[in-house]
A and B are shown apart, each in its own frame.
Chain A
Amino acid sequence: MENKETSRRNFLATALLAGVAAGCIPNKNPFEGYAEDVKASGEKVKLLSVNGEVIEIDKAFLKPVPDLPPVSNIEARRGIAGKKFVMVIDLSRCKNVKACQTACNHMHSVHPTQNWIKVLEMQDADKTAPYWEPTTCMHCDEPPCVKVCPVDATFKRQDGIVLIDSDRCIGCRFCMAACPYSTRVFNWEEPVLTKEVAEKDYSCETSMPQKKGTVGKCDFCPDMTRRGELPHCVSACPNGVFMFGDMIQDSVTNGAETFRFSELIKDKAGYRLMEDLGTKPSVYYLPPVNRNFPFESGLDNVIEDDKKFKSN
């Protein structure tokens, strides 16, 4: 959280500086009107202007902007042009740490008894090997949830993301019945929100603040993506299990490593869940072979879980 905030501030500062730099065309003073009473601190920062020139500017002239303007509902429904988001989950790296889940729950103020990301303890048959399988929303290309929604409250965007508009959802829960991955959760009661979150304007890109009587689920963090950052689960995972990227650019990254998506899927024999249903998920899995950790190393965390729910 701390880190996130800092990196976000850095990002904003950079964005502002770029704007300042763009303004530094001869004969125009961008600081006109408000910069007179700012005293130069003597500390200089180097910036790259849009013309490609490196310029130096006093730090005192930088002014933080409160926030990027929120994306309009129409824009949020349309999605980011020229993108097709994809996630790869490498089962050979997962040991049920659940840092993904914790980060996701925290960043989206998910109800304490609910999770958008689940880490399932899987074993396909008696004699087959057990493994840990994190599940997110699959952001299907043929989404059963979108098909059944009576009011277009859940929708598929051009960048492949399936989102929910909690201002429109009527709470019929048909999408929950339709989703074969059981990914959707419902706000059965008034969500528990911090004051800061509760006061935010709702956006379907942040899925925040959530609303009583509406459906919620993993949203692939499009607000982060719009800023060129990774979804919270991806950056939170200490083992690099999640790789996120753009199928058109054919690249996915977990922050530390970057792969060519098509090669990764080819080399590691990637697959999708319940291919036979024809839902065409955007989440690919790499099989749990040559594992980094034994399956048993994740078992400790399961017991913790029961405690967590029992205390509630």
Chain B
Amino acid sequence: MNNSNTLTSEQITSDLLPQKFGSRGMIWTGILVLICAIGAYAYYRQLRYGLVVTNMRDYVSWGIYISNFVFFVAISLVGSLITAILRLADVHWATPLTRIAEIIAVSAIVFASLIIIVDMGRPERFYNLLLHGRLQSPIIWDVVVISTYFLISLLLLYFPLLPDLKIMINFKEKTGNALHKLYRFQGSFWKGTAEQFKISEKSINILCIIIIPVAFCIHTVTSWLFATTYRPGWDSTNFGAYFISGAFLVGSGAVVVAMYVFRRYYHLEKYITELHFEKMGKVVVLLALLYLYFNVNEYLVPAFKMKKPEEAHLDELFTGEYAPLFWFAIMIGMIIPIFILIFKKGRKPLPMFIAGIMVVVGAWFKRYLIVTPTLLHPFLPMHDVPTSYHHYFPSWEEWAIAMGSLAGALLVITFFARIYPIIPIHETIIENEKPAHQE
């Protein structure tokens, strides 16, 4: 850290303690709650009338619920990247970002699970997955790995929080009674003894090692929900790696956006420095190049051959009905961010923030393009169905539910940052006290 030597532990603690919502915070939270409420009402309508309130029909049987699910699973992978991969690689600059990455992961995985339940025709039969689960089905694999990933991510959020909880318990007059009780409930057993630190350190290390294969599993299995079918655009051996590279990209983009917002709103310039943006910028540009590479593979190889079933699908993407969205997603999700971030000037906070937004928005539409256009190009011609079955544009209920789930994930992150320090206090103090920095 740049100005670490000038900081005292007391100052770090008082800077990083969670703060009450200001007026902007209240407005932000209010808007999110409103979006969630509209989504909840739309879901009530869906439960009452059935999935007929969506514009999905027999050909496009998966719509934005599923692409939103893929988006959430993708974004959650960043927890494993920032927390585990960088930690195991002994990269210390990422320490202040771990909690941001981990809460993004946890809230995204929660809403991934919720949105998949929303997509089910009979959500009340969810228990059938346990009662009659077939291990041969990729959906069961997804259920297993997603719940495992959720559990590990939750622990990776919780264990590093323990020393911070101890600090916060000492600030009862600042945090208020209710939060004080919560902190005590969650962390009063933590005394901060050397023995406890040793156990905690070891557990975190083990979790960091386990979470990497599990993270690869969740997104590979999610890609297999598509790749295990015969359909053009999905029938690809490239899909697992393609999805994972895209996932790391969108997750890192989201972390950059969150870094910028938290830094500005909580005045964390001393803790999330330009150096962090510089480093994250390099990570994002690398991942964007990697994802671009997989996209070239995914589209150019079939386009070279133009097999008949693929042809209709690719024509639609490159020059047809979906072409504007397709090129928008490619440009805004990869090419433009690459051009911004490849230059040193582009890796300053504001341009990084813009590039981060682009990456996330591009990624959301990219998931939509992966799921829907394929379904409009079945092997046999679409026939004996109303013409409305030949097209898909989400209904207001679908938009409301999808946006509600995104707002819900942001709400979880917002409340988390209200209750807990978004930058680890204890770890920052430790880093600060280190005599010499290798950076």
**A residues at B contact (CB < 8 Å):** 101, 113-115, 118-122, 135, 144, 147-153, 168-174, 176-178, 180-182, 184-190, 212-215, 273-274, 277, 305-306, 309-310, 312
**A171/B129 in contact, CB under 8 A:** no
Contact of A149 among B61, B126, B134, B380 (CB under 8 A): B134
Chain A residues closer than 8 Å to B131, beta-carbon distance: 151
**B139/A174 in contact, CB under 8 A:** yes
Chain B residues closer than 8 Å to A118, beta-carbon distance: 383-384
B396 at interface by CB-CB < 8 Å: no
Q: Is the interface of A mostly helix, strand, loop or mixed?
A: loop
B229 at interface by CB-CB < 8 Å: yes
Chain A residues closer than 8 Å to B52, beta-carbon distance: 188-189
Chain A residues closer than 8 Å to B383, beta-carbon distance: 118-121
Given known contacts A101-B384, A115-B384, A187 and B50 CB-to-CB distance under 8 angstroms:
yes
Distance between Cα atoms of A178 and B54 in the complex (Å): 21
- A115-B384, A152-B132, A213-B122 given; name 8 further pairs at CB < 8 Å: A114-B385, A135-B380, A150-B133, A151-B131, A170-B129, A171-B51, A176-B58, A312-B386
In the complex, what's the smallest C-beta–C-beta distance from B126 to chain A, in angstroms?
7
Listed residue (A187, A188, A310) with the most chain B CB atoms within 10 angstroms of its CB: A188
Chain A residues closer than 8 Å to B133, beta-carbon distance: 150-151
Complex A-B, nearest 3 residue pairs according to Cβ-Cβ distance, in ascending order: A171-B121, A213-B121, A189-B52
Given known contacts A120-B383, A176-B61, A190 and B134 CB-to-CB distance under 8 angstroms:
no
Count chain B residues whose beta carbon lies closer than 8 angstroms to a beta carbon of A. Answer: 48
**B385/A213 in contact, CB under 8 A:** no
Which B residue's beta carbon lies closest to that of A278?
Answer: B230
Contact of A170 among B125, B375, B381 (CB under 8 A): B125
In the complex, what's the smallest C-beta–C-beta distance from B143 to chain A, in angstroms?
8
**B121/A180 in contact, CB under 8 A:** no
Q: Is the interface of B mostly helix, strand, loop or mixed?
A: loop
Distance between Cα atoms of A122 and B123 in the complex (Å): 38
Distance between Cα atoms of A173 and B69 in the complex (Å): 15
Chain A residues closer than 8 Å to B61, beta-carbon distance: 173, 176-177, 186
In chain B, positions 266-304 with a C-beta closer than 8 Å to chain A are none
Distance between Cα atoms of A180 and B230 in the complex (Å): 6
B438 at interface by CB-CB < 8 Å: no
In the complex, what's the smallest C-beta–C-beta distance from B62 to chain A, in angstroms?
6
Which B residue's beta carbon lies closest to that of A167?
Answer: B125
**A182/B378 in contact, CB under 8 A:** yes
**B379/A151 in contact, CB under 8 A:** no
Chain B residues closer than 8 Å to A182, beta-carbon distance: 58-59, 378-380, 382
In the complex, what's the smallest C-beta–C-beta distance from A161 to chain B, in angstroms?
19
Which B residue's beta carbon lies closest to that of A125?
Answer: B308
Number of A-B contacts (CB under 8 A): 147
Listed residue (A135, A171, A189) with the most chain B CB atoms within 10 angstroms of its CB: A171
**B51/A186 in contact, CB under 8 A:** yes
**A178/B229 in contact, CB under 8 A:** yes
A-B contact pairs, 19 of them (CB 8 A): A120-B383, A120-B384, A122-B381, A144-B229, A151-B129, A151-B132, A168-B128, A170-B122, A171-B122, A173-B119, A174-B139, A178-B229, A182-B59, A182-B382, A185-B58, A188-B54, A189-B51, A305-B384, A309-B386
**A149/B58 in contact, CB under 8 A:** no
Distance between Cα atoms of A310 and B386 in the complex (Å): 7
Contact of A174 among B59, B123, B225, B387 (CB under 8 A): B225
**B385/A172 in contact, CB under 8 A:** no
Distance between Cα atoms of A185 and B51 in the complex (Å): 13
Distance between Cα atoms of A114 and B225 in the complex (Å): 26
In chain B, positions 362-421 with a C-beta closer than 8 Å to chain A are 375, 378-387, 389
In the complex, what's the smallest C-beta–C-beta distance from A130 to chain B, in angstroms?
12
Given known contacts A180-B379, A182-B380, A309 and B385 CB-to-CB distance under 8 angstroms:
yes
Distance between Cα atoms of A113 and B52 in the complex (Å): 12
Contact of B139 among A150, A185, A215, A309 (CB under 8 A): A150
In the complex, what's the smallest C-beta–C-beta distance from A58 to chain B, in angstroms?
52
**A177/B229 in contact, CB under 8 A:** yes
B57 at interface by CB-CB < 8 Å: yes
Distance between Cα atoms of A172 and B132 in the complex (Å): 14
**A214/B121 in contact, CB under 8 A:** yes
Contact of B137 among A147, A177, A180 (CB under 8 A): A147
Which A residue's beta carbon lies closest to that of B381?
Answer: A120
Chain B residues closer than 8 Å to A119, beta-carbon distance: 383-384
Chain B residues closer than 8 Å to A149, beta-carbon distance: 134, 137
Listed residue (A148, A177, A186) with the most chain B CB atoms within 10 angstroms of its CB: A177
**B138/A148 in contact, CB under 8 A:** yes
B27 at interface by CB-CB < 8 Å: no
